[in-house]
Structure 1
Amino acid sequence: MFNYIPYWVISIIFITLICILFYQIYFSIVNSYSYNKNRITIVDKFGSILPYSLPLLEGLQNFGQQILPDYPFSLMSLYKKTLMPLVFFYVTHPALAFIAFFVLYSLFVRANSPIPNRPFIRFNVLQSILLFLINSLLGVTFRALPIEFRVSIYGLMLCNTLFWFVLSTIIYSIIKAIQGKYSKIPVISQAVRIQIDTQ
């Protein structure tokens, strides 16, 4: 029966079910707290960490696959056991990124969102979306460069720099979210603040 259903339909159904489940859990826990939108709860921290998986997978797809094989074997084996299956799934289902992007935007960023306004989650979701867009733009730009440059030492240095930029901004944002603090990435966090303040 499932042989005739396209994979993107199954992916949309799967993501929708996960979003509905998260939506229900989020409301049940948030409603159990006294409603103070500036109070940062465990749910706010967890909900702020999850969206960063989108730019992380995008960065690993764009830059990690090219440079990680040159890293020490122990790091590469750790990557193969943990993140590589997720990156492979992400690469083979490109529609998931855009579906997740629009779901995050419609649930957390829009001014008339169905989810109560939680500034901490909204800030981190919007920042993760912005990091995802920057990663996508950097990846497209890098792939547009001539193949001779990309495989040269200078191309690998550029790829390595972009990879560590992506990884360090995401790790920094996740650490700040776990601490319950707002991250301060130059330009990016300021753009997010401006967007939130204008809505």
Structure 2
Amino acid sequence: MFNSLPILLIAIFITILIGLVGIILYHLYMYVTQTKLHISSNKNITILDRCSSIFPYWLPLLEGLQNFGQQILPDYPFRLMSLYKQTLMPFVIFYVTHPALAFITFFVLYYLFVRAKSPIPDRPFIRFNVLQSILLFLINSLLGAVFRALPIEFRMSLYGLILCNTLFWFVLSTISYSILKSIEGQYAKIPVISQAVRIQIDNQA
């Protein structure tokens, strides 16, 4: 319990730092280009909303790295692998060695943000991103289970590595895009996934 505390604190610190740096860089860019930020239909999205919306994406990110990243990243250039070892790998190891953590986090997020009778004050932007991160987590879990069910001969073949790389970059790109949109204070528009999230939110309204 106490050994895991520093890792959780580091994860929280990195998330806040990424959010703050992203927001600062974005506003500097907007100032230099003298353009205005258009937030989709909600001008009450605060900096706290943006930073808080980044946190839930740790769950699908770690799930994707566990399912696909560990198999293909060792074959990537040494610099990329070295960067991975120094940044995300400790979190992935912690995630893998504590399998119950994913389900606990899933239910906590669902209870606090997704339920119609949530105890947390209604923040539509945070709720959208939490629900989207949960959906991405479930998709990653399903894809990972299907990939592991394939014959090991196929998984270790060239076609298996191509499939694994495709799934890995799908995970990484969707999460990176969602985090970027959260930093900008805009709603992500991932085909099918974001639409499913909006339908779920509308049904609970």
TM-score by length of 1: 0.82
Match of 1:78 in 2: 83
Deviations 1:114-146 (A, max 9, x none): 011110000000000000000000000000000
Structure 1 unaligned spans of 5+? 1-6, 16-36
Instruction: Give, in angstroms, the shift of residue 55 of structure 1.
Output: 0.1
Give, as a single letter, the amino acid of the residue that structure 2 aligns with 1:169: T
Indicate whether 1:185 and 2:195 are aligned: no
Give, as a single letter, the amino acid of the residue that structure 2 aligns with 1:94: P
Instruction: Report the Cα distance in structure 1 between the residues aligned to 2:152 and 2:72, rounded to whole angstroms.
Output: 15
- 1:153-192 matches, within 5 Å, as 153-192=158-197
Aligned residues of 1:38 and 1:119 also touching (Cα < 8 A):
no
Match of 1:134 in 2: 139
Instruction: Give, in angstroms, the shift of residue 160 of structure 1.
Output: 0.2
Instruction: Give, in angstroms, the shift of residue 79 of structure 1.
Output: 0.1
1:39 to 44, 48, 58: 44
Instruction: Report the Cα distance in structure 2 between the residues aligned to 1:61 and 1:38, rounded to whole angstroms.
Output: 37
- 1:88-167 matches, within 5 Å, as 88-167=93-172
Match of 1:19 in 2: none
Instruction: Give, in angstroms, the shift of residue 163 of structure 1.
Output: 0.1
List, as ranges, runs of 4+ consecutive aligned residues in structure 1 with deviation greater than 4 Å: none
Instruction: Give, in angstroms, the shift of residue 58 of structure 1.
Output: 0.2
Instruction: Give, in angstroms, the shift of residue 77 of structure 1.
Output: 0.2
Instruction: Report the Cα distance in structure 1 between the residues aligned to 2:127 and 2:203, rounded to whole angstroms.
Output: 13
Q: Secondary structure at the match of 1:186?
A: coil
Instruction: Report the Cα distance in structure 2 between the residues aligned to 1:138 and 1:74, rounded to whole angstroms.
Output: 28
Give, as a single letter, the amino acid of the residue that structure 1 aligns with 2:149: A
Instruction: Give, in angstroms, the shift of residue 38 of structure 1.
Output: 5.9
Match of 2:37 in 1: none
Instruction: Report the Cα distance in structure 2 between the residues aligned to 1:98 and 1:169, rounded to whole angstroms.
Output: 21
Match of 1:28 in 2: none
Instruction: Report the Cα distance in structure 1 between the residues aligned to 2:82 and 2:43, rounded to whole angstroms.
Output: 42
Aligned residues of 1:109 and 1:125 also touching (Cα < 8 A):
yes
Give, as a single letter, the amino acid of the residue that structure 1 aligns with 2:65: L
Aligned residues of 1:54 and 1:132 also touching (Cα < 8 A):
yes
Give, as a single letter, the amino acid of the residue that structure 2 aligns with 1:126: L
Indicate whether 1:50 and 2:55 are aligned: yes
Q: Give % identity.
A: 81
Instruction: Report the Cα distance in structure 2 between the residues aligned to 1:71 and 1:92, rounded to whole angstroms.
Output: 24
Instruction: Report the Cα distance in structure 2 between the residues aligned to 1:127 and 1:171, rounded to whole angstroms.
Output: 13
Q: Secondary structure at the match of 2:122?
A: coil
Instruction: Report the Cα distance in structure 1 between the residues aligned to 2:75 and 2:187, rounded to whole angstroms.
Output: 34
Q: CA RMSD in A?
A: 2.0
Indicate whether 1:195 and 2:204 are aligned: no
Match of 1:26 in 2: none
